[in-house]
């Protein structure tokens, strides 16, 4: 009996860790976005997007995050159609508070604060220990680079140029 229970629990854990797609509700785009994660290859793919992208983790009270946002917004304008940037707000204050934060910080890129999405995306990148932290992924969803802290635009551009050439 113990073996049967253990086997069932183990099966449920494996099913839960599978490569199924996940939907991420966003604060500023009614469609949100969907991802799949291949645990063997460690690739996080954005469904419907086959180009490089970035995940930008930030928090509401982070001064460096606020300073990083204009740089991220510039990258979006300059690399329009070549990359996408998704924001992940780690410390939700509720829908209205989160919308206020996006406006206050001038965040124009698609962002989520849904606890399940934040937890999932944080887990996929190996854990987020501080903000701001930005991850660059190649077109296959492979994590290429991590930037912890405030970085100049040129640091991101150097990595993006390598991926886009």
Burial degree of 123 (CB within 10 A; 0-12, 13-18, 19+): exposed
* Predicted local confidence at residue 60, as pLDDT: 92
Structural domain includes residue 13 = no
* Predicted local confidence at residue 66, as pLDDT: 95
Could you report the average pLDDT of every consecutive run of 10 residues in the chain (165 residues)? 44 51 96 97 97 97 96 97 97 95 94 98 96 98 98 98 93
Structural domain includes residue 159 = yes
Structural domain includes residue 133 = yes
Residue 118 structural domain:
19-164
* Predicted local confidence at residue 1, as pLDDT: 52
CATH of the domain at 24: 3.40.30.10
* Predicted local confidence at residue 123, as pLDDT: 96
* Predicted local confidence at residue 14, as pLDDT: 39
Buried b (16+ CB within 10 A) or exposed e, 134-165: bbbbbeebebebebeebeeeeebbebbeebee
Q: What is the pTM of this model?
A: 0.87
* Predicted local confidence at residue 11, as pLDDT: 38
Structural domain includes residue 39 = yes
The domain total for the chain is 1
Structural domain includes residue 90 = yes
């Amino acid at each position: 009996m113990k073996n049967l229970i253990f086997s069932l629990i183990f099966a449920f854990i494996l099913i839960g860790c599978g490569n199924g797609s996940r939907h991420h509700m966003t604060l500023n785009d009614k469609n949100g976005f969907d991802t799949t994660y291949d645990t063997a290859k460690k690739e996080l793919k954005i469904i419907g997007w086959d180009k490089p992208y970035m995940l930008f983790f930030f928090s509401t009270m982070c001064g460096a995050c606020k300073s990083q946002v204009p740089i991220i917004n510039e990258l979006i304008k300059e690399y329009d159609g070549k990359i996408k940037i998704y924001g992940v707000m780690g410390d939700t204050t509720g829908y209205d508070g989160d919308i206020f934060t996006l406006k206050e910080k001038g965040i124009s890129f698609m962002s989520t604060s849904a606890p399940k999405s934040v937890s999932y995306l944080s887990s996929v990148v190996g854990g987020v220990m501080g903000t701001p932290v930005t991850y660059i992924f190649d077109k296959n969803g492979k994590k290429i680079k991590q930037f912890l802290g405030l970085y100049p635009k040129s640091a991101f551009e150097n990595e993006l140029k390598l991926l886009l050439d």
